Structures are given as structure tokens and as C-alpha cells.
Chain A
């Protein structure tokens, strides 16, 4: 499974857009990029997944350049409740999705 690198922490203020970039230089052709959110003392929660270009859902957007060696999670207009750790994972679609290797994640702190 491809290794990922993310910033350890980020600070933001309410209402701002937050972009968290993840590097995955060794991503394989059949790998997808998935982001999870984890609050303290809770299990991770799926945010978004993509293969290339741009994916958007009700909570975030995911930007993936053509070479797929990095990806950027974009959180529009963050609120205090978005304070959490965000994990970027790279894994083959389907069969290995449950067997996920977590990196250190990015601790996002949203301030009022």
C-alpha cells in the first residue's frame, strides 16, 4: 500500500476554506484516494474518495492532479465542529478497503 505524507497540523478560523494536501508519490494504478475524519474518542468517518480530477460531495471536495501523486482535501467554510484529525489513505478499490493503513493524519484546529 502506498505511503502517504500529510502536514501534522493546521490551524484555521471559522468560515475559512481549508485545504489539506497529501502526498502519495508511489500510488499504484489501481489505487484510490480516500479521506477519513476522526474526532477524539471516536472511530474514523469516511469523508470522500476519488481516483482522478475532482470529486465533490456535501461535505468536501477532493482535487487530484493528473499524475495522482498528491491530492487535496478542501473543506469549505469550516466551523468549530470540523476540528478533528484528517487521514489520507491510498488503497486498491474494494477488497482492501477495510484493511486500511493509516498514516499520522493532519490535526485541524478551527478557532472562533
Chain B
């Protein structure tokens, strides 16, 4: 079964509003989670690293004030897209790694964001 769960699976919002996406590790604690964005027919692009109890680390070119990340607990990281615009429409995916299994990263099912 899924070990990393995202919610919602899809969301439509109006331009200018904010949207929050949740990423949960279901049966393990994740001190670090990762957020990716994927545009149609393109590969995943790492946006930021979410660190429990501290500030997120953003990749170059990703606006930290626009994509707010909160990792308040060991099982939950949230990504808030603030003042969303149509160009923010994308597929957002989170991932985490089990502490005792270094062999693979577990990905959420993704969230399809459409800004109208």
C-alpha cells in the first residue's frame, strides 16, 4: 500500500488565491521530504527540500515566498502555493525516504493543480 500520501489529488482554484497541498508519510517518520513539480510531458523538477523543524531549502529559481513549505511534524509536510496564477498549474509530487530503507524514495500520488 501507499506509504506516502498526498492530498488533494487534484484541485482547481481561481487566480490570486492560495492552495495548500499536504504530504504525509503513513507508517514512518520522515525528517526530510522533497517537493517536485512536473509540467505536461516533462520530467520531475525538484523544487525544495522540506526539513522538519527548520526552514525548507529551495532550488535555484524557486520563489520561497510563493511556494511556502511547512514541515511541522515528522509525518506531515505542506506546500502552499500563494497567489496562484495559471502558470503555476502543474503536477506537484512529494517524496520521502524511510529511515531504515535507503534503497528507494517513496513518492506520493501527486496533486494536479489547475489555476483558472
Residues of A within 8 A of B (CB): 34, 41-46, 49, 87, 93-94, 97-105
Instruction: Identify B105's interface contact among A41, A42, A97, A105, CB under 8 A.
Output: A97
Instruction: Identify A43's interface contact among B43, B46, B97, B108, CB under 8 A.
Output: B108
- Complex alpha-carbon distance, A102 and B4, angstroms: 19
Contact residues of A: prevailing secondary structure: loop
In addition to A98-B34, A99-B34, A102-B36, 14 A-B residue pairs with Cβ atoms within 8 Å of each other are A41-B112, A43-B109, A93-B102, A97-B103, A97-B104, A98-B97, A98-B105, A100-B34, A100-B44, A100-B95, A101-B46, A102-B43, A102-B46, A103-B43
- Complex alpha-carbon distance, A100 and B105, angstroms: 9
- Residues on A with beta carbons closer than 8 Å to the beta carbon of B89: none
Residues in B30-50 with C-beta less than 8 Å from chain A: 32-34, 36, 42-46, 49
| Residue of A94, A100, A101, A105 with most partner-chain B CB within 10 A | A100
State how many residues of chain B have any CB contact under 8 Å with chain A. 28
- Residues on A with beta carbons closer than 8 Å to the beta carbon of B67: none
Can you list 20 A-B pairs with a CB-CB distance of less than 8 A? A41-B91, A41-B112, A43-B4, A43-B6, A43-B95, A43-B108, A43-B110, A44-B93, A44-B95, A46-B104, A49-B103, A93-B102, A97-B104, A98-B49, A98-B97, A100-B95, A100-B105, A102-B44, A103-B43, A104-B43
Question: Given known contacts A99-B46, A103-B43, is B109 in contact with A94 (CB within 8 Å)?
Answer: no
- Residues on A with beta carbons closer than 8 Å to the beta carbon of B4: 43
